[in-house]
Chains A and B, each alone.
Chain A
Amino acid sequence: DQQVKQNSPSLSVQEGRISILNCDYTNSMFDYFLWYKKYPAEGPTFLISISSIKDKNEDGRFTVFLNKSAKHLSLHIVPSQPGDSAVYFCAAKDDYKLSFGAGTTVTVRA
């Protein structure tokens, strides 16, 4: 059973605008959430994370929001840049194990 879901397989956004990626989870035992970014033929690279005791974490252009009651998190990228075009994976941690979503492919248009 898939415990982390990214329901939007793709997202197209104009350069300079905001990208919003969404993620839902089902396991209430998850206590740490992460976003990874992946370019073709490369492995996922860590982008940003948030602990379950927080509702927001910001790092430069990237902000992650967590809504525990709704079991939902989102990643905001502002402003979007061409180099942001990649696959973004939402991941949730229970102890040491990461559960990933299927990814959202972001395309930033010039």
Chain B
Amino acid sequence: EAGVTQFPSHSVIEKGQTVTLRCDPISGHDNLYWYRRVMGKEIKFLLHFVKESKQDESGMPNNRFLAERTGGTYSTLKVQPAELEDSGVYFCASSQAGYSPLHFGNGTRLTVT
């Protein structure tokens, strides 16, 4: 089966610009998660979708971040406007059921200059 794919793999933008990250989960996985790793620290939860519904977005840093999952398939994470502290690696993960291990994508490395 194809794994979780993320696009782009790298993005370098200037402070104040907008960036949209995309995640395609494994087919049939209803659960989709976004995580972020900043500066080699812990991987932090951002939010969780079940199909197209946001189950938990308690980890979203602020209202500059907007996640969507139209039709319960792929998901996008938009950062607008980007700030320097948004730099990091954004991981998407999916799972079939609540207690199934998460399958992670390779991440998008975002650099805000």
Contact = CB atoms under 8 A, between A and B. Distances in A.
Contacts of B31: 96
Interface of B: 4, 9, 31, 33, 35, 40-45, 48, 55-56, 91, 93, 98-99, 101-107
Contacts of A69: none
A34 B103 CA distance: 13
Interface string A71-98: 0000000000000000001010101111
B48 A96 contact: yes
Interface residues of A, number: 24
A103 B42 contact: yes
Contacts of A46: 101-103
B9 to A, nearest CB: 8
B60 to A, nearest CB: 13
Nearest to A45: B104
Given A49-B101, A95-B98, A96-B98, A102 B41 contact: yes
Contacts of B102: 46, 98
Contacts of B106: 41-43
5 contacts: A43-B106, A46-B102, A49-B101, A98-B33, A102-B40
Interface string A26-57: 00000010101000011111100100000000
Nearest to A38: B104
A45 B39 CA distance: 20
A45 B91 CA distance: 12
Which 6 A-B pairs rank lowest in CB-CB distance, beginning with the nearest? A43-B104, A46-B101, A100-B43, A102-B42, A100-B42, A43-B106
